[in-house]
């Protein structure tokens, strides 16, 4: 586990990573550049409360994530499993308590912003953490009209000024369009390239 110190800005990319793929790698590299992050942590979750079906074994997903994401400023973490948290808001609160003085930026694809209002304590996340949204193919319009985007429109930082995000007071979020790799874990599983069991 990479040690974090006060003053660092750390992006958090959470998900089941079932499987991790080049799209995850691409948005991680883009997030490091666009938001001026010191580090990014992939938070590999034990499971997704919004999904009925459980993911592949944690060890397998962690190993696959380490194999595909090779960058000196990126850490593959099982923090959620070790801390016993279930929901993103709980995980972020636990990280904030464990690493005081570290600025955490919650990173997500535009597809997640479209249904973000369904997440437990989503307003807590928006109010207490910077949020960086990276557009994926086909997800721009639903994301821009999302409930979370409307409620926090006043806190939106223009994509062309994305480096301002980490210096802004929360709530603050930024929607940035990036050239995307059009891959999804769902499609990879459907093609039989990653068996979940």
Q: Which two tokens stand for residue 124?
A: 């807590």
If phi > 0 it is left, if psi is from -120 to 50 it is alpha, else beta; for residue 36 that is left
Domain spans of the chain? 9-190
**Mean pLDDT of each 10-residue bin along the chain, 197 residues long:** 85 93 91 97 83 80 94 96 94 96 94 91 98 76 84 95 96 87 55 52
Q: Which single residue is written with the structure tokens 């990280």?
A: 95
For the whole model, what pTM was predicted?
Answer: 0.86
Q: What is the per-residue pLDDT for 165?
A: 97
The pLDDT of residue 172 is 98
The label of the residue with tokens 């930024």 reads 174
Could you tell me the fold of the domain covering 9-190?
A: Rossmann fold (3.40.50)
């Amino acid at each position: 586990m990479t040690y974090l110190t006060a003053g660092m800005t750390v992006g958090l990319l959470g998900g089941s990573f079932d499987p991790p793929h080049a799209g995850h790698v691409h948005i991680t590299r883009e997030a490091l550049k666009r938001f001026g992050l010191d580090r990014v942590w992939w938070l590999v979750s034990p499971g997704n409360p919004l999904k009925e079906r459980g993911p592949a074994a944690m060890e397998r997903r962690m190993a696959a994530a380490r194999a595909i994401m090779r960058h000196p400023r990126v850490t593959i973490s099982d923090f959620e499993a070790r801390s016993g948290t279930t929901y993103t808001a709980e995980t972020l609160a636990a990280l904030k308590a464990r690493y005081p003085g570290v600025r955490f930026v919650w990173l997500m694809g535009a597809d997640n912003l479209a249904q973000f209002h369904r997440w437990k304590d989503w307003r807590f996340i928006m109010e207490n953490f910077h949020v960086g949204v990276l557009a994926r193919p086909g997800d721009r319009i639903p994301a821009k009209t999302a409930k979370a985007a409307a409620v926090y429109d006043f806190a939106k930082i223009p994509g062309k000024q994305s480096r301002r995000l980490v210096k802004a007071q929360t709530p603050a979020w930024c929607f940035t369009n990036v050239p995307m790799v059009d891959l999804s874990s769902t499609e990879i599983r459907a093609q039989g390239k990653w068996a979940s069991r």
